Amino acid sequence: MAPLEHYLILSAVLFTLGVVGVVVRRNAIVVFLCIELMLNGANLAFVAYGSFLDSLDGQLIVFFVMAVAAAEAAIGLAIVVLIYRHRESTDVDDLNLLKL
Amino acid sequence: MAGQLFFYFLALLTVAGAVAVVALPNPLYSVLSLVATFLGLAGLYLSLNAQFVAVVQVIVYAGAIMMLFLFVVMLINLGREERQALRLPVQKLAGTIIGLGVFAGLVNLYATTPLLTGAKGLFPAARLAEVGSVQAVGRLLVTQYVLPFQAMAVLLFVGIVGAVVLARRRAR
Amino acid sequence: MTYILLFPLAGVLVNLLFGFRRGERFAGRVATGAMGLAFLASAAAFLSLLGLPPGQRALRAFLFEWIPVGGLQVKASFLLDPLSSTMTLVVTGVGFLIHLYSMGYMHGDRGAVRYFIYLNLFSFSMLTLVLGDNFLVLFVGWEAVGLCSYLLIGFWHERDSAAEAGKKAFVVNRVGDFCFLIALFLIFGRFGSLDFGVVLPQAAATLGAGSGAATLICLLLFGGATGKSAQFPLHVWLPDAMEGPTPVSALIHAATMVTAGVYMVARTSALFALSPFAMGVVATVGALTLLMAGSIAVAQNDIKRVLAYSTVSQLGYMFLAAGVGAYTAAIFHLVTHAFFKALLFLGSGSVIHSLHGEQDIRRMGGLRAGLPVTSWTFTVGALAIAGIFPFAGFFSKDAILFAAMTSPRGGLVFWLAGAAGAFMTAFYMFRLVFKTFHGKCSLPIEQQARLHESPRVMLLPLQALAVLSVVGGWMGLPLVRGADLFGGFLSPVFPKMGGEHHEVVLEVAMMLVSLAIALLGIFVAYGFYVRGQGVGAAYGRRWPRLYRLLLNKYYVDEAYDRFIVQPVKRASIWAWHAFEDGLIDAAVNGAGAAVEAAGGAVRRLQTGYVKSYAVAMLAGAFAILVYLTVRGG
């Protein structure tokens, strides 16, 4: 089994790729995918630490994270569909209605 | 050594998938690449003795959630992102730099501080092989973690209702 | 025993769920049936109480821990002892008859279902009040009957005067309730408990006889009783309460709810025994009220208002009795009063019903021919309240007058007040009888032709109550040893007053005197209103000031308006301008303006693009990471 550092660096790589994706991409769906990527980076760290500490808590937390991710995906995608219906676009850079 | 090789293989798959998610212009390909990443992660979880999470990762994440994404992509049918002048260049540049900064900070942290300082838990690999990883997780889920488990159920329910309410076509 | 409470509650629920759909007849039957069952349950409870030896007649029913908070342990529990048993019998018995009567009286009213729900709810609340085993349960019932009273006074809320009267009753009662509540706080502070079973036996040991604390608590409790039982100076709401339907006036504002104050004073007699001063106040207020209300009743022309002031006056009698320590006499009068006052109100309701809403006695007269049953039952009620032998009121009033004279706390002054009250009672009651049922009818001819007796369902309660008004007093026969069943049943509940040896000669003499006084009152009324028509009016002209003073109820309402309502209004308006406009609005608007200005300055930071916010969040996360690294390293 590879040492803990390897797993953690891999998780950091995934997280960073997610971050960069969120910032760079414009399509709302892809932004969501990148957020999933970040979550999975964090998940990997949890499981790795749990495994190396002989504990199951890491796995359980990952389980809960997945549930949150599922709920978030459901709501988020519904919002995306709604936005698309209204504006014929899923480009987050078009969404500047927060500013009056 | 075989374990090491296995790890590097999976890590490569995972990172490649992740890079593809970010880089490919067509959202459909991004989704499929993410599925590849998830499969790689599932393999990694297996190598970490986390069979339960590995299976859930494949079934729920790669299976269910990604299908939902695919549905939406198909439904909206956007096609590739048009190449156009980069908007909000300052934000994007700053975001990328800070993201890389986070990465550097994390790696720096791993390199400079001892990582395994916590107390050892109750489930070493030998014990897990004995009682079964999935059983142990399941038992914890309905005993020590029963309250978050219930809360999760509520959360998912609210999510379902919320999604239905949001996506419903309003009769005008 | 809990069944007593359960039946009216079930009636409320059934009528709430089905009453509106099934209509008025159904609702009336359910409500009346519930009261009938409650009465049977009370009777059963009474019998099981009789089966116990006299010293230990108390049943307790514990339902659940209601408020277990630290030092405050309040149980939802109920107590059935001779006192509460008497009260439940009166409430359910008279209540049942009045429910029955209401089925006829409210027939055809659009809100009849609502009416029956309120009426049952009231019965439930009143029973909670009398059965409660601690001050808090009593208080819950106390407030709940107040609420029902408010709802029923304002029952015809489309009439402005009814809505106003309901509001007035509520507000005036609130003054008393406030006193009551403070008394409860003091009791809890002193005793650490609100249970009757704890507070009352320990009262003497904890407070000490004649102590300031005992006096304060008692005066506050009595303040509460003044509000609910319409004693001076909080009596003003009761006459206005006559805006409600007449059976409500009979049940709530004559027979049961207004006697709650008397019940409460009797219940806490162990506390009052510690404070001679408070008892003196009780007796004085009672005597004052009975004189005042009696004299007002003489000059009123609205049939229900006369009865209302009569009620206030009779309640004064009860407090006079309680104040001199004759609790048995007070409760005895409470019971007989419930019979004959309910009868009188229902009789007046019958008159009003057949005259289609006419309430002014100057426009009545000679109704005896058209309304024979109403007429004779009303006369029985009048004889009973006037205290003519052998009607019920004779015995209870005599018991009070005797106690007022002979009790160590009583005295000649109290007796004189009571006797004067008795004279006035007889006078105004027979003024009412003569003007309503005798003499020439002053109604228009076409209305006379349509005059008809009320339906059977209304007459039956009248007849039953008339019988009770005759025989109701016989359970407390004086003079003969052992014949005073009522007193024997109740007396274990109350503290001994001492000096209870009966001097037979004195008692007989006093009986004769009070009988003579009552007969004199009737005779004067006869002289004024039957033989010499217009004599009364002549006297009114001779002392116009006195007459106007009485007609206007001693200007108490006006005094309240002048000295309390208007100043409060003016102060409120001033406070509105000074605080509301000057201080609060200025502060609120100022805060708003400040935020607006600050927001205007900072809004440049907001681009409105989701991305910008994501980047900002990321920067924050990075900063935290750096901080942790630096600190941890």
Maximum distance among all Cα pairs of chain C, rounded to whole angstroms: 114
User: What pLDDT score was predicted for residue B20?
Assistant: 92
Question: What's the confidence (pLDDT) of residue C573?
Answer: 83
**Percent of chain C whose predicted confidence (pLDDT) is above 90:** 1
For residues C388-397, average pLDDT: 82
**Are the beta carbons of B142 and B152 closer than 8 angstroms?**
no
Provide the pLDDT for residue C478: 62
Q: Does A95 touch chain B (CB under 8 A)?
A: no
Q: Give the side-chain half-sphere CA count within 13 A for C598.
A: 6
User: What is the tens place of the pLDDT at every residue in B1-55?
Assistant: 677 888 999 999 999 999 999 888 888 889 999 999 999 999 999 988 888 999 9
Rounded to whole angstroms, how far apart are CA atoms A92 and A80? 10
Q: Is the peptide bond before C390 cis (omega within 30 degrees of 0)?
A: yes
Mean pLDDT within C56-62: 79
Residue for token pair 């760079």: A24
Instruction: Write phi, then psi, for C69 (nearest 5 degrees).
Output: -120, 105
Enter the tokens of residue C150: 């408010």
3-state secondary structure of C355: coil
Radius of gyration of chain C (CA): 29
pLDDT of residue B81 exceeding 70, the answer is: no
Report CB contact under 8 Å: A20, B100.
yes
**B28, B72, B130: best to mutate for the A interface, most A CBs within 10 A:** B72
pLDDT at C266 over 80: yes
Report pLDDT for A37.
Answer: 93
Residue C495 has pLDDT above 80, yes or no: no
Q: Is residue A34 within 8 Å of A54, Cβ to Cβ?
A: no
Task: Give the Cα separation of C404 and C427 in Å (integer).
Answer: 22
Q: At C133, phi and psi to the nearest 5?
A: -100, 5
Query: Tokens 């006869």 label which residue?
Result: C526
Strands C72-80, C59-69: pairing kind: antiparallel
Mean pLDDT check: name the lowest of B89-93, B145-149, C28-32: B89-93
Which whole-number Å values give the CA distances from A16 to A22, B19, B65, C407, C468, in the listed order? Answer: 10, 10, 22, 96, 93
- Return the closest-CA partner of residue C323 out of C362, C276, C365: C276
Model-wide pTM > 0.95: no
Burial class for C198, CB neighbours closer than 10 Å (0-12, 13-18, 19+): middle
Query: Is residue C57's pLDDT more than 80?
Result: no
Q: What pLDDT shows up at residue A4? A: 87
User: pLDDT at position C256, please?
Assistant: 82
How far is Cα of residue C545 from the mean position of the Cα atoms in its chain? 32
Evaluate whether the domain defined by B1-78 bears CATH number 1.20.120.1200: yes
pLDDT at B172 over 60: no
Indicate if the pLDDT at residue A6 is higher than 70: yes
Is the alpha carbon torsion for C155, C159, C162, C168 positive or negative?
A: positive
Least confident of A59-73, B76-90, C268-282: B76-90
pLDDT (0 to 100) of residue B32 = 92
Whether the Cβ atoms of residue C404 and residue C414 lie closer than 8 Å to each other: yes
Closest CA relative to residue C150, chosen from C198, C106, C118: C118
DSSP designation for C455: P
A37:B18 CB<8 A: yes
Q: Who has greater pLDDT, C303 or B12?
A: B12
Residue C609: which of A19, A22, A96 has the nearest Cβ? A96
- Domain range annotation of chain B: 1-78, 129-172
- For residue B109, the chain C residues in CB contact (below 8 A) are 625, 629, 632
C contacts of B112 (beta carbons < 8 Å): 633
For chain C, list the contacting chains (3+ Cβ pairs, <8 Å): A, B
Residue C121, burial from CB neighbour count under 10 angstroms (0-12, 13-18, 19+): buried
- Helices then strands, counting H and E runs in chain B, come out as 8, 0
Could you tell me if C83 and C49 are in contact, meaning their C-beta atoms sit under 8 angstroms apart?
A: no
pLDDT of residue C498: 47
The predicted structure's pLDDT at residue B54: 92
**Cβ(C419)–Cβ(C356) below 8 Å:** no
Chain Cα centroid distance, residue C564: 24
Contact B21 A4 (CB under 8 A): no
Residue C329: strand, helix, or coil: helix
List of chain C residues whose C-beta atoms are within 8 Å of the C-beta of residue B106: 625
B76 Cβ under 8 Å from any chain A Cβ: yes
Rounded to an integer, the average pLDDT of C454-458 is: 80
Contact residues on chain B for C632, CB-CB shorter than 8 A: 109, 113
Half-sphere exposure of A23 (CA within 13 A, CB side): 26
- Say how far apart CA B39 and CA B19 lie, in whole Å: 15
Residues with Cβ within 8 Å of C209's Cβ and at least 6 positions away in sequence, in order, are C273, C274
For residue C134, what are the β-bridge partners? C195
Rounded Cα gap, residues C276 and C545, in angstroms: 38
pLDDT greater at residue C171 or residue C411:
C171
**What are residue C306's phi and psi, to 5 degrees?**
-60, -45
Domain ranges of chain A: 26-88
Chain C interface, best mutation among A22, A89, A93, by max C CB count within 10 A: A22
Contacts of C610 in chain A (CB under 8 A): 92, 95, 98
Query: How far are the Cα atoms of B12, B17, B22, B73, C32 from residue B26, in angstroms, in the given order?
Result: 22, 14, 10, 10, 78
Mean pLDDT for C111-139 is 89
Nearest to C608 among A19, A23, A99 (CB): A99
Contact A23 C610 (CB under 8 A): no
Q: What is the CA radius of gyration of chain A?
A: 17
CB contacts of A96 in chain C (<8 Å) are: 607-609
User: Shortest CB distance from B113 goes to which of C618, C619, C632?
Assistant: C632
Question: Distance between CA atoms of C436 and C375, rounded to whole angstroms?
Answer: 9
Average of per-residue pLDDT across C212-240: 86
Q: Which residues of C touch A95 (CB under 8 A)?
A: 609-610
Nearest-CA neighbor of B98 among C607, A9, A20, A24? A20
The residue type found at C173 is N
Asked whether the ipTM of the predicted complex exceeds the cut of 0.90, the reply is no
Residues 27-66 of A with CB under 8 A from B: 27, 29-30, 32-34, 36-37, 40, 43-44, 47-60, 62-64, 66
Residue C422 has pLDDT above 50, yes or no: yes
Substitution target in C596, C603, C604, C611 with the highest count of A β-carbons within 10 Å is C611
Give the chain B residue nearest A74 (alpha carbons): B163
d(CA C474, CA B81) in angstroms, rounded, equals 102
Query: Is the pLDDT at B118 greater than 70, yes or no?
Result: yes
- What is the pLDDT at residue C484? 66
pLDDT interval class at A65 (50, 70, 90): very high
Q: Which of C610, C612, C625, C629 to mutate to test the interface with A (most CBs of A within 10 A)?
A: C610
Q: Measure the CA–CA gap between C394 and C400, rounded to whole angstroms.
A: 10
Is the pLDDT confidence value at C479 over 90? no
Distance from CA of A3 to the nearest CA of B (A): 9
Closest-CA residue to C94 (of C138, C38, C15): C38
Tell me the residue type at C561: D
Among the residue ranges B88-97, C10-19, C193-202, the one predicted with the least confidence is B88-97
Task: Tell me the pLDDT band of C83, cut-offs 50, 70 and 90.
Answer: confident
> Tell me, what's the pLDDT at B14?
93
Residues of B within 8 A of A38 (CB-CB) are none
Q: How far, in Å, CA of C374 to CA of C460, rounded?
A: 10
**CA–CA gap between residue C88 and residue C77 (Å, rounded):** 16
Give me the residues of C, 584-613, that contact B with CB < 8 A.
Answer: 609, 611-612
Q: Is the pLDDT of residue B154 over 90?
A: yes
pLDDT value for C537:
67
pLDDT one-digit tens code per residue, C1-52: 777 888 888 888 888 888 888 888 888 888 899 889 999 988 888 888 888 7
pLDDT (average), residues C426-436:
85
Query: How far is CA C271 from each of CA C75, C282, C494, C606, rounded to the nearest angstrom?
Result: 21, 13, 11, 70
Percent of chain C with pLDDT over 70: 92
Distance from CA of C603 to the nearest CA of B (A): 18
Average pLDDT of span C166-171: 86
Q: Which of C618, C621, C633 sits opposite B112 (nearest CB)?
A: C633
pLDDT for B151 equals 92
Inter-CA distances, B25 with A24, A26, C137, C571, Å: 12, 10, 74, 74
Q: Which residues pair with C76 in a beta bridge?
A: C64
- The answer, yes or no, to whether residue C499 has pLDDT greater than 50, is no
Residues B119, B122, B124, B128, Cα dihedral to 10°: -160
> Which helix (H) or strand (E) is C63 found in, with range?
strand C59-69
Chains near A, with 3+ CB pairs < 8 A?
Answer: B, C
For A59, the closest of B18, B50, B72 (CB atoms) is B50
Q: Is the pLDDT of residue A29 over 50?
A: yes
pLDDT score at B40: 93
Contacts of C383 (CB under 8 A, 6+ apart): C391, C393
Q: Identify the closest residue of chain B to C614 by CA–CA distance.
A: B95
For residue A77, list chain B residues with Cβ-Cβ distance below 8 A: 68-69, 72, 163
**Cβ-Cβ contacts under 8 Å, A23 against chain C:** 611, 614-615, 618
Distance between CA atoms of residues B149 and B142, nearest Å: 7
- Residues of chain A contacting residue C600, judged by C-beta atoms under 8 Å apart: none
Burial class (CB in 10 A: 0-12, 13-18, 19+), A56: buried
According to the CATH classification, is domain A26-88 in 1.10.287.3510? Answer: yes
As a whole number, mean pLDDT of residues C123-151 equals 89
> For residue range A42-58, what is the model confidence (pLDDT) as tens digits?
999 999 998 888 888 88
Please compute the mean of the pLDDT values over residues C536-544 and round it to a whole number. Answer: 68
Mean pLDDT calculated for residue range C171-198: 87
What average pLDDT does this structure show over C533-560? 70
